[in-house]
Structure 1
Amino acid sequence: MKNQTEKKLKPIGIFLSITLALSAVYYFLIIYSGTLSSGWGQFTMGLMWCPGISALITMKILKRDISELGWKWGQTKYQLWSYLIPLIYAFIAYLIIWVFGWGGFYNKEFVVRLTNSFGFGEIGTGFIIVLYFILVGIYGTIRSASSALGEEIGWRGFLVPELYKTQGFTKTSLISGCIWGIWHLPILLFADYNSGTPSWYAMSCFMVLIISMSFIYTWFRIKSGSLWTAVILHASHNLFIQNIFTPLTEDTGNTAYFIDEFGIVLPIVGIGFAFYYWCKRKELKPAPMII
């Protein structure tokens, strides 16, 4: 049994080694420049595609069919929920932030820039915010998915199903979440992937959030059998947090400690969602038996 387990884990070692080697190039470029926006954001895009490219290379090395990565669409209800869930937990988190005054709704400077960019002149603030929400929620998702796909081919297309063969749901969620989080740390610690809090604080909040999210992503990937649930989850998460709720939140002094992926509120809400999907783990097909 031990030899069989080691044999099943070997592909993961190949995948992670290639991912690290490719990512190191973009780590250097981003850290050297000090910002994720360097190279017009193409360094960051390149980094996000490293896991996906690594998965494809690994499949080639192992002489496997890339169809095993989960390209089928699956049932649309899972894709719809994949879009809505990040919106729900982001809304809950930011509503808590606004109600308790840890951040204000809304950021007037940001809304003024929005109004000017739309070119509508004097028009209601509420209308501008709703219009921005709708347009970004639709078209921004497509743009966000183009980068999320690069990561998700690797993390949920290859890594999660491969881990699930030997580890089951809970361990797969924890292990893949830790790997996913650690992969982000170089740019968090040594570049500007942070909302302005101390590195130790940002790292702690981020790792808790990422591991919590991993339970959601793993559940949908195994339940649906589709890679696209993870792509949509990832794209929706980045979109609503980074492009809508965080920019709309006004800084009231210590807001950075509460908002975004590096503040305390989202990780706490994320734990609640992780627990919910952990409780639903029995709905998943059982992991293959190792003989």
Structure 2
Amino acid sequence: MKLRSQNPILLYLIFTLIFSSVVWVLTLNAPNAGRIAGRMFGYGIMWCPALATIVTFKLTGRKMSDLAWNLGKTKYLWSSYLIPLFYSLVAYLIIWSAGWGDFYNLSFVNDTAHEFGWDTLPHWLFIIIFFIMNGVIGMFAGISTALGEEIGWRGFLVPELAKKMGYTGVSLTTGLIWGIWHYPLLVFGSYNNGTPAWYGLICFTISITAVSFIFTWYRMKSGSLWTGVLLHASHNLFIQSFFTPITQPNAKSAWYYDEFGAVIPAVIVVLAIYFWSRRKELTSIGEYLS
């Protein structure tokens, strides 16, 4: 049965909620989930938007091949990889300079070097090698999870919203929906830094809404959902797998570092304003939705 007359955005959001609810319950019911279970739940939740897109397309008579699978211009792909590295580096340089955390976390470096069997390497050399390996090899794992979300958020939702509103409205709406989608695990789980729930929630919401302006700009400019995949994967990779763990926390760190502290949202907001100021460079809907 095809539901061509139905609101595809509403269908997508309903199915995203249904599928995500299953993973939310499983995750919250496993507070002691280790590496294996945590990875499975993580993959599961990040592929719910893609699954919702598939069902929505099936019900509305669309084809998944209609999504913006083309790679687009190489410069936009490289920029999508490098921009999260840039704002993460700026944020953590501020954090280290202000004394809200120190470079570097000796325990993390020693433990990680030991896992690789590189205990004898000087710390400075191991950090460089780990940064390069993480930034290259780690991207494959990051892309495999980010793709699940981006098929939904930037592949489907952004183009659909762009039929009804402009760049600013699309960015705000997508960012808020994307942020709220994380709330069940943020509020009821342990997906934060240990600060009060309201504080982490505010920082995270500002961060994800602001970064949506960057993601939307590249989606519209490039005509490719792969820019969103690379932005998303790079954001998660450098913040979660390098800069946060490489930082030695202190009593103030939880309030300032990682995705639930104040610095990263502040830096991203500045960058979001920059991309918003360039909104007139975006082409018409017909040129970037396919």
| Same fold, judged at TM 0.5 (above) | yes
Structure 1 segment 1-291 matched on structure 2, within 5 A: 10-34=7-31, 37=34, 39-287=37-285
Superposed displacement of residue 9, structure 1: 8.4
| Aligned-partner Cα distance in 1 for 2:175–2:131 | 29
Superposed displacement of residue 8, structure 1: 9.0
User: TM-score scaled to structure 2, two decimals?
Assistant: 0.94
| Aligned-partner Cα distance in 2 for 1:32–1:117 | 30
Superposed displacement of residue 52, structure 1: 0.6
User: TM-score scaled to structure 1, two decimals?
Assistant: 0.94
1:8–1:174 Cα change, 3 Å: farther
Amino acid at match of 2:9: I
Amino acid at match of 1:101: G
| Aligned-partner Cα distance in 2 for 1:263–1:163 | 30
Give the alignment's Cα RMSD to 1 decimal.
1.5
The answer to whether the Cα contact below 8 Å between 2:110 and 2:119 also exists between their aligned partners in 1 is no
1:34–1:258 Cα change, 3 Å: same
| Aligned-partner Cα distance in 1 for 2:6–2:170 | 12
How many residue pairs end up in the alignment? 282
Residue number in structure 2 paired with 1:4: none
Amino acid at match of 2:7: K
| Aligned-partner Cα distance in 2 for 1:36–1:81 | 35
3-state DSSP of counterpart to 1:20: helix
Superposed displacement of residue 40, structure 1: 4.2
Amino acid at match of 2:28: I
Superposed displacement of residue 67, structure 1: 2.4
**Greater CA drift, 38-47 or 122-131:** 38-47
The answer to whether the Cα contact below 8 Å between 1:36 and 1:43 also exists between their aligned partners in 2 is no
Amino acid at match of 1:210: I
3-state DSSP of counterpart to 2:284: coil
**Greater CA drift, 209-218 or 249-258:** 249-258
3-state DSSP of counterpart to 2:258: coil
The answer to whether the Cα contact below 8 Å between 1:166 and 1:287 also exists between their aligned partners in 2 is no
| Aligned-partner Cα distance in 1 for 2:9–2:24 | 21
| Aligned-partner Cα distance in 1 for 2:76–2:69 | 14
The percentage of aligned residue pairs carrying the same residue is: 49
The answer to whether the Cα contact below 8 Å between 2:139 and 2:234 also exists between their aligned partners in 1 is yes
| Aligned-partner Cα distance in 1 for 2:176–2:119 | 48
The superposition leaves residues 146-186 of structure 1 with CA deviations (integer Å, 9 ceiling, x where unpaired) of 01100000000000010011111000000000000000000
| Aligned-partner Cα distance in 2 for 1:120–1:210 | 36
1:287–1:36 Cα change, 3 Å: farther
| Aligned-partner Cα distance in 2 for 1:9–1:95 | 49
The answer to whether the Cα contact below 8 Å between 2:168 and 2:213 also exists between their aligned partners in 1 is yes
| Aligned-partner Cα distance in 2 for 1:82–1:36 | 32
Superposed displacement of residue 114, structure 1: 2.0
Task: Name structure 2 gaps, 5 residues minimum.
Answer: none
The superposition leaves residues 45-93 of structure 1 with CA deviations (integer Å, 9 ceiling, x where unpaired) of 1111000111111111111122222111111110000000000000000
Task: Name structure 1 gaps, 5 residues minimum.
Answer: 1-6
